[in-house]
Amino acid sequence: MASEKVVEQRRPSFERLAIDGGTPVRTAPMPPRLLIGMEERQAVMDLFDREMVQGGGFDRYRGTEVDAYEREFAAYFGTKFATSVSSGTAAIHTALGALHPNPGQEVISAPVTDPGAIMPIVWLNCIPVFADVDPGTFNLDPASVAARITERTCAIIVTHLVGQPADLDPIMEIARQHHLPVIEDCAQAHGARYKGRLVGGIGDIGAFSLMGGKHSTSGGQGGMVITNNEEIYWDAKRFADRGKPFNSSERMNLFLGMNYRMTELEATIGRVQLQKLEGIVKRRRDLVAALREEMQELDAVHLGKVIDNVDPAYWFLLVKVDGFKLRASHDRFAQALAAEGLPVTPRYDYLIYESPWFRQRQTFGQSGWPWAAFPAAQQIKYEGSCPKARRAIDTHMVIPFHENYGEQEITDIAKALRKIERAYGPERPAKSST
Ligand SMILES: Cc1ncc(COP(=O)(O)O)c(C=O)c1O
């Protein structure tokens, strides 16, 4: 704090920050995300009208909405098959379950992600192994993936975090060399493109979350698993419905599974939402392009890195703050931004191996399973194993953002960042008055 005071005394000409008693850039709240509209409402009313005449109780096997949603989802993402489930967590569980891993096998995953992408690994009694990331994007570093492969590895889960496609080509190449299936976790990246192709259909399986905060939703909760592999498709469908003998001459259930079925109500909403996805993603890209333009002259604060040949889907904004160029701490910068009227989270601080459930192995009673059951798993040192992920977290702030933002919001974000950088940044030569 003392050093920040000194800065202010030495540089009296810049605009006084709101955190120091100045006028905030923005006082109005950010606009709400109006994801659900009349189209979803009408589709649900129509479904009610049909169910009230035909019966069915919104069960997918008595209706047509879930089947249609699956067909449309697969067509949109360019895969042969899609099977719907009840959440993104269920989608990851189903994708892995369809691969029939043996207990003790290892699944390589991104270290910064939602617990819903990791817990299914543990439910299958497999061992999560975290590869490190590109600290600019938070996404898997292919070299680190290669280094973490062992004879026990059975799959790689590639997360496209925050709507940024991961660098898939080298990861696919490594996976092919080792005959490993790749699951793309697209929970945060609906509609993002890698080298022109929509993510989700590039690996062996794509897993989506369709919860209400995502680019498109099936109404609160939902998920989808897509693939071009027919065998994987049937086993995913079976896994998500208690091992039912779909596409089989057996009469009774084939293997251990869950009941992750989607309902007709969810699919009805999801179908309408899918039609809006293209527009939502485009709008987000346009807004980010405008913001990038407005932030051009900034020196210490930049939008998160975008790798070559990708079109991100921008779930929220990652803003990189170069602490070496500023005379304020990362947290002070975030506080200053909040004081200017912008919603901000100082860090996307979700390094999985740091969370209590993982560190304390709060899994199956007091057993410590699956780690305790496998000597190789007990040898894995997680703490500190992904230093670049930690660096990524500590150098980026999160600014929420969505397609209902307008020009004013973009201008305000840029203005607030500029104002704070000026106050805390390196001194610039005074402008000549002649
Ligand atoms: C990357 C990622 N994977 C998986 C999930 C789990 O999805 P859900 O919340 O729908 O279970 C999420 C949720 O946000 C996520 O962000």
Q: What is the pLDDT of residues 383-405, one digit of tens each?
A: 999 999 999 999 999 999 999 99
Examine the pLDDT at 11 and tell me if it is beyond 80. Answer: no
pLDDT at 78: 98
pLDDT at 433: 43
| Separation of CA 104 and ligand 1 centre (Å) | 24
Examine the pLDDT at 85 and tell me if it is beyond 50. Answer: yes
13: confidence class by pLDDT, cuts 50, 70, 90: low
215: confidence class by pLDDT, cuts 50, 70, 90: very high
- In a domain, residue 372? The reply is no
Binding-site residues, ligand 1, Cβ < 6 A: 87-89, 92, 113-114, 116-117, 159, 185, 187-188, 209, 211, 223
Ligand 1 site-directed mutation target among 158, 164, 208, 209, most atoms within 8 Å of CB: 209
Question: HSE-up of 195 (CA within 13 Å, CB side)?
Answer: 7
- In a domain, residue 422? The reply is no
Domain total in the chain: 1
Q: If you average pLDDT over every residue of the chain, what do you get?
A: 95
Examine the pLDDT at 430 and tell me if it is beyond 60. Answer: no
| Separation of CA 115 and ligand 1 centre (Å) | 7
Ligand 1 site-directed mutation target among 84, 118, 188, most atoms within 8 Å of CB: 188
pLDDT at 10: 46
Separate counts of helices (H) and strands (E) for the chain: 14, 13
Full-model pTM: 0.95
- In a domain, residue 174? The reply is yes
9: confidence class by pLDDT, cuts 50, 70, 90: very low
- In a domain, residue 289? The reply is no
Q: Could you tell me the strand order of the sheet in which 317-321 lies?
A: 301-303, 317-321, 396-399
* CB atoms near residue 325 (< 10 Å): 14
| Separation of CA 431 and ligand 1 centre (Å) | 50
pLDDT at 350: 97
| Separation of CA 316 and ligand 1 centre (Å) | 14
87: confidence class by pLDDT, cuts 50, 70, 90: very high
Residue 156 is part of a domain; what is its CATH number?
3.40.640.10
d(CA 292, CA 391): 23
pLDDT at 425: 87
| Separation of CA 114 and ligand 1 centre (Å) | 5
d(CA 296, CA 298): 6
Contact between 210 and 221 (Cβ < 8 Å): yes
d(CA 337, CA 331): 10
pLDDT at 50: 96
Query: By residue range, what is the domain housing residue 116?
Result: 38-273
